[in-house]
Structure formats: structure tokens, C-alpha cells
Chain A
């Protein structure tokens, strides 16, 4: 039996102390927005965007028409394919950019990123630039390399791969094997086995350099809006531009669907035929995607993409890298938002276990004001959150470690799934602990896939807290997991596997922390011959 190294049993003190001692405190005042009556925000009635560089104006767009439906059925651009209509196969991969206008008034596309056209709604294109495979002209290095390397067999997935390779080329025309693979995890190919596609990515650099033409012709007319006092028709599409407008709309339409990246909402429409009612799109809310690095913590706007969040956190928390690489695919990470992942509260969402372990907090707000709560306290039970109908998730605060705290700090995130890339976790486990003089002084464990919500593991934490950091302690603590969780059996894993793996991950955590120099020898994904 492992003995408690410190006999003074601290009850639940351990939970409170981790964020207050180990992690710098977060001072966020409780804000109250004055309850003034503001003019009603009108829904978008016309959608203006650039299609392959040319200005387009669409009237009467159904709020849930997808970009893929528009491209194939209305624009008759059939190069973009439908393989699954749920963002999992990549056959519909297109590029979206923001529009920048220089002093001379010339518009160009910036911040190009790949997204899945099948789950993006046309209305979210308003003010954006959309590029399809037809924009490439057939002689882009990505296309030439795919031909010469025999990267296409049946050809159906090919335009999607070409778009992902084109996006990669735009950022890095001579990518490494790892970079090519990382860029392509969102596309399925059933014919080639991927080797010639990887070869194409590696060979793009051998063709004459091409710069993607980001020039935009024509100007986007300002949106024509309904008079403010008109009650909109059913299923209006709102695109507020300030937080205040967002709050106001949510107060006026508490049952409206809040739409961010659409990586889940798109499936509600395509697969479940859900009626969304009014849609409130948060993609154009000012500062909603902003990420700010403070001395003690990151402040991440709920609208920040998963990709941007990853990029910001990676230097501070490299232990999360593999989880992020396996977390969906580049097109999904470009579209999906951290706030969407958190507000959705899926029991198998992968960002929450890690953030819970790190002691992250979340600010939810409404026209009535805002409040900050521990992330784990946002979730009550399956699909039930501690949020009022008029509230939205506004910001996430992720603590940063001080140099001193890092010395005593051990943190790991493990994602276990059938397939390495882009698969929903059977189990996601994040463990954060501080160890001082061989004793576990603080511990927070976030778990996904083990119950109806992402949550902490209180019994397990208690079984570790204030014990010596030894293999025996971890071995003895394993039994506590069964007190915390009675996982389900489903198509991804049985209850037995979930519990067994979670217990074994404790062993892995211990072994990795005990021999950090030998770490890669425990990780099949990074194992090299």
C-alpha cells in the first residue's frame, strides 16, 4: 500500500489550491451591461462574397443552404464533390479567405484556409472570398505533382486533396513528409493508400513556383438590410458584429441556434434534418476570435478557431500537440471554434479534458451581465449546461505556468481512438499534477468519453493527492477510476475497454514522468525505426 506522505488530509482543498497556488489567479470582474434598449439587428438578406476572385451577390439564400449545395446546384461548379456531407471525407474541401482592401481600394484575399464546403452555410460567406478547385486552372504545382506521381486513381477525392495541397503550398512550397501528412488528415482516399499523394506533396517544390492569385475583382455591395422594425421571416440569418448585438439577439431569440464554425450544426441540418429556426452567426462579431496572451493566462475568445487556439497554446503546452494533431482535421480545425467545442459540451469533445486539467475557466455572458466559472462547472449532465437561454460562451481563460511552477509540474493529454487521425475518442484523459519533494501536491484530472459530460475524476484525484509519486501509488489509485466513472459501451469502445485504458494511462503517465528522456519509447505514434 502506498502511504500518504502527508498525513494532514486536506479534504477537497486540493481542488481549490491548484488554480490558486499552482496556477496564477484570474481576476475577472463580474460585468453588468446596462439594460438599455438598443435597435434591433436586422438579418442578412443578401449575401455578398467573392467566388474564385469575382464578386457575387446572392439574394434569398436559405439560412441553411450549404456552400456545397450552392456550388454544385446553383453555380454549376461540380469540381467540388460530396463524399459524406458531414466534414469527414474532405472531398468537398475548398478555401476561404478574409477580404482586405488596401489604401488604393484594391481588394485581396488574406488568411486563406481550407474548410469543408458540405457543412458551411452560404450565408457565412458574406464578406469572404471562396476558392474552389476551378480557380486553380489545372497547372498548379499541386495538380501537376498529383498527375505525375499518380496521386489520382478514381479521382473523386482528388479535388479535395488538391485544395489541401494548394493551401499547404501557399504556406510552405517545400513541405516535409510530416507536414504533408498533417495537411492531409482531413481527406479520405480509398484507392491509392496515400503513398503517391504524399509523394505529390513532397514534389510540389520541383515545379516552377506559383503564387496563388489573391486579387479580387469587383466590390462587394453593402448588405441590404430589412428596416429595423420589421419582424423577420422565419429562419432568419443574423450576423451580429458586436458582442452587444449578439447578446441582444440572444435575448430576443433565446431559442435561436448560435452558429460558429458549423462543424456540428452542419450535421444537424444535413443528417438530422433539424429545423434551426433563427440562426445567429457569431463569425463576424468583433474581437470574438481574439486571443490575448497575458502574463498569467491566455484569454481566448470563444470564436477563435481550433487551429488558432492550438497555434497559441502549442509553445506553452507541447504536451497537447499530439492531441491537437489528432483532434479533427485541418479543415475542421480551421472552421471549428474553441467556444463551439466548449459550448457544445459533448462528452467526447477533446479540448475540455485538457482544459479542465489545466484549471481553465470560462466566461458566459448575456445582455444581463457575465460570470466566470470553472470549465468543469459548465456541464451538469448530458447535453445540459449551467447556462441560461440568453447566455453565450464568450471567453476561455487558460492559465499559464510560471517558470517556478513548471519545475514541479507534470502534464499529459492522451487521446485514444480506433484510428490515429480524425477519430472521436474512446477515451481522452488529461492529467496535471505538481510534485514537490516526491509528493503529489496537487492534481487535476479531466476525462472525456467516460460519462455524459467531460468531467474531473474526484475519487482518482483523491487517491493520488498527497501520496508519494511512485509506481505503487498509481497502481493503487487505479481502482478509484471505477468509483468516478461507469462508462458506456458503444460503437467506439466497450465500457470495459474504456476503464482498462484509463487505468493503463495512469501507468503510462507515471512511466513517462519518471523517465522523461525515454518518453518517445512509450508512444507508438512517434516511434521511429
Chain B
């Protein structure tokens, strides 16, 4: 029985759904262990910044089941797992830089014994002064990469001469990825000094490289395999490396298979999160709310090492415009070095933090002018490329060629009944003292492609067996997003087959080499095109074969048949015949994204192949006595181009929205005065639960083909929906700013405490003005 609402054949359930529900989908920790498997755990720094004076492992070594203790000195090759800049030691080497940094590896007979032994070391530190505040770091010019700065026009002058101006400050917190399956690697020594590693990672190729470097062996002796991850969200792009490397180092040292699976608390203490950002802004505008000039200064928390903080800063900079034309703009982004976890990729990769800046400014301007924030947003929208006034170029000189947001907004305004609800909410707020309702409608424009050109390539292998079944392998990884399902659909469509004739195997560096991370929403765009390319190469050979064998070259595959001229034979029969005629029934495929170019020094070019768009209208109710709130209704219209699989795309949109809402509301990272992360488990770090999902949650796709030649005219959908959650944050701000002189000084995460604080401050300001 299929009760899926939409009957279209594009709607296919996730290729592993039947395994997920039965508990038979195999994750790394479920792989049957080889004989003699040992288990590793990290010993973590209990000091945020300090020189290691001494390390006494006598208690560790004598603990039950312990086989070995390894430190930086035991690493044969390079002690680094930093993806770009090599400033990220696998094990601390003389100095610790954050509370929770791995200092040593203990290998024991069981997972439990390794964990228990790991806390028994006696390590003495000579403390060095730590830096925890990003403002302090910026003042001391402690940056992990040089700050970046981009100007267009004379923003300072434009603001100065503008009829109205505002300036201010706000913050947005970081966010733990909270993949349900924690980090894990299982390393197995193989013959002739090789190493095979099963790793929960978005980036098997980079894991391969790091493992080879730390073991001091060539790339061709390391294979990394990933069948699926139990969630990743960016957290397993670069930061799976420390676990992959440590497992490989331990396996090499013990000449035995070694599994490393940190406990949730250790995972959260060790790994980086979404960067929190600190913002200063100045803006000049006219009476309609149109921006005349805007200046931003953004400081991100990079943590103790560079990791991906440079590219995150670049993406933040490229998204401070969000959906708006900025005529005169000055934006500076700094990646502050602090003695905390090294922050990393997380769905959106700086884009959400960049776009939030302009949304905050426009929201504040609207309150200042007494206008509806939606009107201020609309008046600042980009125009499409063919408009005469040329309000269609981004501050990094890319032309916005398509801009469907005006059309999408008209549709969502109507379907969400925005204006009638706005009136009703005002009436409610006028007649209620304690509860306040708020509504916000915010847009998303998100650039699709890696900001680094050479990452925008992908490979695939398609193999047809003589029984007519197809096996596909490609460089992308499955983390729940349904990438494999979409690739199966693409290949099945090429051969006119149903999905049950197509199978995808684990991502494996031994099959498709030199892959990019499955990141930047690019998985289907890149790997889908590569798989299609491979299938089409096989089809070209089969056409030649049909010409020779049947005298017809117009070969077409549909419904499980090869249609040759007016004849048709079953796919299996046709394939067997081709095999017997010695036709190569497998092929590689390759894809490199066209059109893109980027001058990193000038911050100029076309870093994105295209933009994905979306809009969300969210209504909340806030208790002004406690700051508690509830999301009442959400309406979303999102642009996924021509959707390859609407069910999967809607899943990404709904999931991205709720995840983004968590970031901006209940998810709060708290460090104590010693720099220890205190919110390191779900008991203390609160991601959304089932009751946070609004009862009225309407999601629709804006079903228009991508103007660019993407795979089946679709658009990437992984990251952009996260930004739709801005509407939840601004709806809360709208509620507590109602009737106040100034917009409430609300920062994110808008925990009940933050909401009550901002509301109380707004009340006080209003009282002062009277």
C-alpha cells in the first residue's frame, strides 16, 4: 500500500527506507567486527590553553584491557588533519589550544574499557592566557586567516548623506551539528602496509589523504569507504579526519583493526560547530526603507585553528546581500582565533550568518519607519537582469540572471493570507496584555557551487551486468539527504528502468578517485551529471551496436525495453546481446560545472553557477511573562527547479527549516569560565523536538526549471531551506517589538531568556521615550 499523497512517479521513497525502519541499514558501528578488533578512545585536554608539562600514563596503561597509549610522538607522518592550512594537530604536540582537544589515544579490548582508561591520565599543564571572546580576539588581531574586505561604491558617504540612518550590534550563536550517529572510524590494516578505513564522512577522498599523510604512505595504499552516515550536516566534512587518522594510527601501531567511536559528550567537546557571529552595522536609507548605503563588520568564531573558517567567511561575505541589491556597501569579515573548538562546516556554511546580517538591518529599518517589514524587503529586492536600472549585480560582481522572488512572493503572500493575518495579529496584540503574536515573511537567495573552483567536479561509474541490472558508484556520500535515490532515478531514467533494477554501492576511494566533499548542496548537481554522463556514454555504444546489429541507430529505452526503430526487446535480452557482441557495458562519467570563475583576491567573479530561492512566512505567539514562545504556522514556497524527487526535496525543506529554527531559538552553546563547553550532550543542548514542529506547516515547491543546464533542470536543495528559519526569529522579534518605540534588541539564539530580556529592554526604552 502506498499512501504517499502525490502520485507522481518522481516521488520515490529513500532507497534505504525499508532498511532504516527495520534496523538493518548498516552504519559503520554495525559492520561485523573483524577478529581481534580493538577499540580506541581519545584522552582530552582539561585546559583551554597551556603547555603540557608532563604526561603520566601509568594509571592508563595498568587499567583493565588497555593495549596501548599513543601520543603525538607516535605519529610516523604528519601530525595534522587541517583541511587547508596545516594547523590542526591530530594529537596535541606540546601545547593545548582548547578544553577537549585530543592529547593521546588509548587502545583497549573494548569500547567501554578504552573510555574508562582515557580519563585516568595525569597531565600537568602550564596555563597560557586563553582567549574566549571573539571581540577580544579581533581587538588583539588574532585571526586564523586574514580578514576579508569588499566595497562597492562609497558606503560611508552614502550613509552620511542618507535621510535616515541606523546603527547597531547583534549576535548569532553557534550550532552543534548533532548528527544522530556520532563520528566513527574503523581502520583495518591490509596487506603490504595498506589501510582500509570505514568512516562516517562526507569526504572520503580527504580522509584518504589525511590518513596517508599521517601514516606516511602514498594515497594508493589507503582506501576509505562510506556506505551511509546517520546525519552529517557539514560536521563530517573536514572533522571526521581526526577520528579517521587516529583509528588508522592506532591500527597501524597495534597491527590490528581499531574502531574509534567517541561518546556523544566527547564528540561535542572535540569537534567544531557552526560559527557564531558578532555583527556591527550602519545603514542609510530613504523613507520607503530602500537602502542607500550599508556597512557591516562581521566577526566569526573560528576557534583554535583555521579548518574551513576562511571559506566560511567568504560565503558569509557573498551572502550579506541575501535577496537585496546593495548599491553602496562595505563589508568586512574576520575569523577570530579563540581557545575553543575549531568551528567548521554546517549546512549553509556561513551563508546563513551572512544573510542574517541584512535581514536584521531591514527588519530594524522597518520598525524605525513604522512600515511592514515585508514592504521594506520588497523595495530592496534585486531586479531581474533585463531591467534598465541594473539593480541586478551583486557586490561581488555577479549578475543575478534569474530572480523569481517577486513572483514567488506574490504567490506566497496570497497563499499565506499574509495581510489579513497581519491585521488580525495587530488586533490581537492590541487586546491582549500577556501573549503577543508576531509574523514575518523572509526570503532566501543562496548561491550554488563551491566557492573554490576546482571542487566543482565529480566522477561516477555505471556498470550494466549481463542480467540487465545496473550498478552505480559515484563520489558523493549519502547522509540521509537522498542523494543515492536521486542518482538511481537519473540512471534508471536513462535506461528506461525502474529503481529496483539499479543499485548503488558504498562510496569508495578505490572506485571513484579524487572526489570532492558532498557539501555545498552540490551532491546531486555534480554526481548526478557525472552518473548521467557515464550512462550516456554506454548508451552511445549501445546505439552503435544497435545500428550494426539491427540496422537502426535510433535506440530508446523505456519501460524496461530497448526500442529499436519500431521493434522492442527486453532490456535484459538487449544487454545480453550487446555483451555477446563484445560491447563495453560499463563506463566512467565526469562532470565539471561550467561558467564559474572567481578571483579570490579581488572577491569578484561568478562563484555560483546559479541561485536557489525560497520564502517563508512564520507566525509565533510569545509569552511576555516568561519569554516562552510557540511556532503556530509556517508557509513555505521554495525553488528546487524542476524537482527530481519532490518528496525528498520537501523533506530537505521541512528538515532545514526546523534545523534553522533550532539554531535561532533553543540551541544554545554555553562555555564555562575555564573554556569548557557545558552543553555537550542532548540533556543540555536542546535541538528541536516533535512539539516544535508547527501544527500548521505548509510547504510547496515553486516548480520552474532551472535556467541553467543542471541535472534534469533541478536546483540544489540541501542548504538553502535552512535560511527560511529567519522568518521564525523575526516573527518572535515582531511579536515582542509590537507597540514598542524601538525594535526589541533580540539576538540569536532567541531562548526564552533572551526573548524576555529583549522584551524587557524594549519596554524600558519605550518608557524612557515617553
- Interface stretch, picked from A301-309, A313-321, A387-395, A491-499, is A491-499
Q: Given the complex of chains A and B, what is the CA–CA distance between A501 and B655 in angstroms?
A: 32
B244 within 8 A of A: no
CB pair A524 B666 closer than 8 Å: no
Q: Which of A145, A270, A511, A527 has the most CB of B within 10 A?
A: A527
Given A418-B666, A527-B435: A154 and B686 interface contact (C-beta under 8 Å) = no
Cα–Cα distance between A523 and B632 once the two chains are bound (Å): 13
Nearest residue in A to B631 (C-beta to C-beta)? A524
Q: Which of A88, A158, A521 is packed against the most chain B CB atoms within 10 Å?
A: A158
- Is the pair B23, A80 in contact by a Cβ cutoff of 8 Å? yes
Contact with A150, one of B647, B693, B696 (Cβ below 8 angstroms): B647
Q: Is B116 an interface residue (CB 8 A)?
A: yes
Whether A504 contacts B651 in the complex (CB less than 8 A), given A83-B181, A145-B3, A529-B619, comes out as no
Q: Quick check: A83 and B180 within 8 Å, CB to CB?
A: yes
- Residues of chain B within 8 A (CB-CB) of A424 are 683-684
B265 on the A face (CB < 8 A) = yes
Task: Name the interface residues of A417-465: CB closer than 8 Å to any CB of B.
Answer: 417-424, 426
How many A-B pairs have beta carbons closer than 8 Å: the answer is 279
**Interface: B691 (CB within 8 A):** yes
Interface flag for B194 (CB, 8 Å): no
Distance, CA A529 to CA B621, complexed state (A): 10
Pick the contact of B17: A73, A150, A494 (CB < 8 A). Answer: A150
Known contacts A153-B651, A155-B16, A189-B180; A524 and B22 CB within 8 A of each other: no
Interface hub of B24, B629, B632, B647 (most chain A Cβ within 10 A)? B24
Which stretch (B212-220, B228-236, B325-333) binds chain A?
B228-236
The answer to whether residues A144 and B1 also contact, given A133-B22, A138-B21, A522-B623 and a CB cut-off of 8 A, is yes
A416 touches B228 (CB 8 A): no
Q: How far is the CA of A143 from the CA of B16 in the complex (A)?
A: 13
- Known contacts A138-B21, A146-B21, A501-B626; A153/B481 CB under 8 A: yes
Cβ contacts under 8 Å, A174 to chain B: none
Q: Is the CB of A195 within 8 A of B751?
A: no
User: CA separation between A148 and B2, bound complex, in Å?
Assistant: 6
Q: Which of A155, A158, A416, A426 has the most CB of B within 10 A?
A: A155
Which of A177-185, A288-296, A370-378 lies on the face that meets chain B? A177-185
Q: A19 contacts the other chain (Cβ, under 8 Å)?
A: no
Evaluate whether A188 and B658 lie within 8 angstroms (CB atoms) in the complex, with A84-B681, A500-B756 already known.
no
Supposing A134-B23, A529-B632, A529-B696 touch, asked if A188 and B682 sit within 8 A by C-beta, the answer is yes
Asked if B630 is at the interface (CB within 8 A of a chain A CB), the reply is yes
Q: Which of A78, A83, A192, A195 is in CB contact (< 8 Å) with B264?
A: A83
Identify the closest chain B residue to A164 (Cβ): B690
- Most chain B beta-carbon contacts within 10 A, residue among A81, A143, A152, A423: A152
B479, CB-defined interface residue at 8 Å: yes
Interface residues of B in 638-667 (CB under 8 A from A): 647-648, 650-651, 654-659, 666
Q: Which residues of B contact A82 (CB under 8 A)?
A: 29
CA distance A190 to B235 in the complex (A): 13
A185 touches which one: B29, B481, B690 (CB < 8 A)?
A: B690
Q: B23, A147: Cβ atoms under 8 Å?
A: no
B230: chain A residues within 8 A (beta carbon):
81, 154-157
Q: Are B695 and A507 in contact (CB under 8 A)?
A: no
Nearest Cβ in chain A — how far from B770, in angstroms?
A: 21
- Flag whether B480 is at the interface (Cβ < 8 A): yes
A84-B682 contact, Cβ under 8 Å, with A147-B18, A524-B435, A527-B630 = yes
For A162, the chain B residues whose CB sits under 8 A away are 21, 23
Nearest opposing residue in chain A for B432, CB measure: A521
Provide the residues of chain A in CB contact with B619, threshold 8 Å: 529
Contact assessment for B116 and A273 in the assembled complex, using a CB-CB cutoff below 8 Å:
yes
- Say whether A493 contacts B753, CB under 8 Å: yes
Q: Is the CB of B655 within 8 A of A153?
A: yes
How far apart are the CA atoms of A132 and B22 in the complex, in Å? 10
Which residues of chain A from 325 to 376 have any CB-CB distance to chain B below 8 Å in the complex? none
Q: Answer yes or no: B633 CB below 8 A from chain A CBs.
A: yes
Residues of A in contact, count (CB < 8 Å): 94
**Given the complex of chains A and B, what is the CA–CA distance between A91 and B178 in angstroms?**
13
Please determine whether A88 and B681 come into contact, CB atoms closer than 8 angstroms: yes
- Give which listed residue, B182, B693, B753, contacts A193 with CB less than 8 A: B693
Q: What's the minimum C-beta distance from A123 to chain B, rounded to whole angstroms?
A: 16
Contact, CB under 8 Å: B683 / A88:
yes
Say which residue of A80, A196, A420 sits within 8 Å of B689 (CB atoms): A420
B6-37: which residues lie under 8 A (CB-CB) from chain A? 13-14, 16-27, 29-30, 32
In the bound complex, residues from chain A placing their C-beta under 8 Å from that of B228 are 154-155
Cα A203 to Cα B1 with chains together (Å): 11
Most buried by B among A270, A420, A423, A490: A420
Whether the Cβ atoms of A193 and B688 lie closer than 8 Å is yes
Across the interface, do A143 and B13 meet the contact criterion of CB distance under 8 Å?
A: no
What's the minimum C-beta distance from B723 to chain A, rounded to whole angstroms?
Answer: 14
Is residue A79 within 8 Å, beta carbon to beta carbon, of the partner chain? yes
Query: How far is it, in angstroms, between the C-alpha of A483 and the C-alpha of B169 when the chains are bound?
Result: 36
B482 to A, closest residue via Cβ: A153
**Quick check: A193 and B25 within 8 Å, CB to CB?**
no
A-side contacts of B648, CB under 8 Å: 150
Q: Is B558 an interface residue (CB 8 A)?
A: no
Residue A405 is within 8 A (CB to CB) of chain B in the complex: no
> Within 8 Å of chain A (Cβ to Cβ): is B275?
no
Judge whether A99 is part of the interface by a CB distance below 8 angstroms: no
Does B629 lie within 8 Å of A191, measured CB to CB? no
Residue contact A206 to B688, C-beta cutoff 8 Å:
no
The minimal Cβ–Cβ distance linking A87 to chain B, given in whole angstroms, is 8
Indicate whether B554 reaches chain A with its CB closer than 8 angstroms.
no
Kindly list chain A residues whose C-beta atoms are within 8 Å of the C-beta of B110. Answer: 73
Q: How far is the CB of A270 from chain B (nearest CB, A)?
A: 8
The answer to whether B670 has its CB under 8 Å from any CB of chain A is yes
Known pairs A85-B264, A146-B17; A527 contacts B632 (CB<8 A): yes
Bound form: Cα–Cα A493–B752 in Å: 9
Taken together as a complex, chains A and B put the C-alpha atoms of A426 and B754 apart, in Å, by 13
Within 8 Å CB of B633, what residues of A? 529
Q: Are B1 and A524 in contact (CB under 8 A)?
A: no
A188 contact set on B, CB distance < 8 A: 178, 180, 682, 687, 689
Asked whether, in the complex, the Cβ of A85 is within 8 Å of the Cβ of B655, the reply is: no
- Known contacts A190-B659, A193-B658, A524-B629; is A148 also within 8 Å of B3 by CB? yes
Which listed residue (B16, B18, B29, B32) contacts A138, Cβ 8 A?
A: B18
**Is the Cβ of B651 less than 8 Å from the Cβ of A192?**
yes
Q: Are B23 and A273 in contact (CB under 8 A)?
A: no
The answer to whether A276 has its CB under 8 Å from any CB of chain B is no
- Mark interface residues in A184-221 (1 if CB within 8 Å of B CB, else 0): 11011111111111100001001100000000000000
A24 CB–B CB distance under 8 Å: no
B658 A419 Cβ-Cβ under 8 A: no
Q: Is B112's beta carbon under 8 Å from chain A? A: yes
In the complex, how many angstroms separate the beta carbon of B125 from the nearest chain A beta carbon?
22
Inter-chain contacts of A137 with B (CB < 8 A): 22
A145 to B4, CA, bound (A): 9
Which among B17, B181, B627, B686 is the interface contact of A81 at CB below 8 angstroms? B181
A508 at the interface (CB under 8 A from B): yes
Bound Cα distance from A273 to B118, whole angstroms = 11
Given A416-B626, A497-B756, A500-B756: A207 in contact with B1 (beta carbons within 8 A) = yes
Cα–Cα distance between A181 and B694 once the two chains are bound (Å): 11
In the complex, the answer to whether B621 meets A136 with C-beta atoms within 8 Å is no
Q: Which residue of A lies closest to B647 (CB)?
A: A150
CB interface residues, B 350-407, toward A, < 8 Å: none
Tell me if A153 and B14 are in contact (CB < 8 A): yes
Q: Does B413 contact A (CB under 8 A)?
A: no
9 nearest CB pairs, A to B: A79-B23, A154-B480, A156-B230, A155-B20, A193-B658, A153-B480, A133-B23, A88-B682, A152-B20
12 new A-B contacts, CB < 8 A, other than A416-B626, A420-B691, are A72-B29, A80-B23, A150-B14, A152-B480, A188-B687, A190-B659, A193-B655, A273-B119, A491-B679, A501-B625, A522-B434, A525-B628
Jot down 10 A-B pairs with beta carbons below 8 A, ordered by A: A78-B23, A79-B23, A81-B181, A83-B182, A84-B682, A89-B682, A156-B27, A184-B690, A424-B684, A426-B753
